[in-house]
Amino acid sequence: MADRMIPESLLVLLRSVDTPTVCNAIEVAQGKRGFDRFTKGTMVHSKPGDPPMVGFARTATIAGLEPPSEPADMIKARRMDYFRSMAAGPNPSVAVIEDTDFPHCIAGWWGEVNVAVHKGLDMVGALTNGVMRDLDVLDEGFPVLAGSVGVSHGFVHVRSIGEPVTIFDLTVHQGDLVHADRHGALVVPPDVLDGLEEAINTVIANEAIVLGPAREPGFDIHRLEEAWARFEAART
């Protein structure tokens, strides 16, 4: 996916709709139900009202429950290699970081400093099964979707860079196109990109078949039956 550009019109549209809408649209584009490349379970969003993060994944794993067993100079060098990796690759980009201590994560990698640093590297957000903290002082414009909120950085250190990671049952490879908001995250399959813009507009139009009448005065069960029949005929 990383070698493929996103059309600007599609990128603008993806930034304007929530992740459930994109999930529905992928099924429309595929012509069937059953798409399952999304997170499973409830996650925590740093700024729930923010627009979704949309970008190519830059992956890494971290840990922090126990001190690292490797030499300190190796840990420090790997951390800088991590930042170099986050700064590389196509834009827009999303940091997708698996905490290998899950579900016993304590290390708040995503706090005031790392949010500022990653935003400064032109990344658009972060997805993690780990911990975030410093919620009141996180920079605007860099949402974090995390597994939990905590207070400590523990013994946090980078374990690997650029390898596939798993976040709440979602496997993400470096370069995957990620869409995430307060509901969770998903990976957009490359084979639906050409038809995704049309599919999103189809989802919105189909839902309007019911939403329009439901929000009008005089709505009743008879109008629902009529609208729902048209809705069922139109949706995937």
Q: What is the pLDDT of residue 91?
A: 95
The domain total for the chain is 2
Range of the domain at 201: 194-234
Residue 141 lies in a domain: yes
- How far apart (Å, rounded) are the C-alpha atoms in residues 92 and 143? 14
| Residues of the chain predicted below pLDDT 70 | 1-4, 236
Check residue 190 and report its DSSP letter: G
Torsion, Cα 173 175 181 184, to 10 degrees, reads -10
Q: How do residues 175-220 score in pLDDT, each as one tens digit?
A: 999 999 999 999 999 999 999 999 999 999 999 999 999 999 999 9
Q: What is the pLDDT of residue 93?
A: 98
Verify that 51 and 160 share a domain, yes or no.
yes
Which of 133, 135, 132, 130 shows the shortest CA–CA distance to 147? 130
CATH of the domain at 156: 3.50.30.40
- How far apart (Å, rounded) are the C-alpha atoms in residues 69 and 46? 31
- Mean pLDDT (the chain) is 96
Verify that 66 and 138 share a domain, yes or no.
yes
Residue 8 lies in a domain: no
Residue 29 lies in a domain: no
pTM, full prediction: 0.94
Local structure of 50: helix, strand or coil: coil
φ and ψ of 45, to 5 deg: -105, 135
Verify that 142 and 78 share a domain, yes or no.
yes
CB contact set of 67 (below 8 Å; sequence gap of 6+): 155
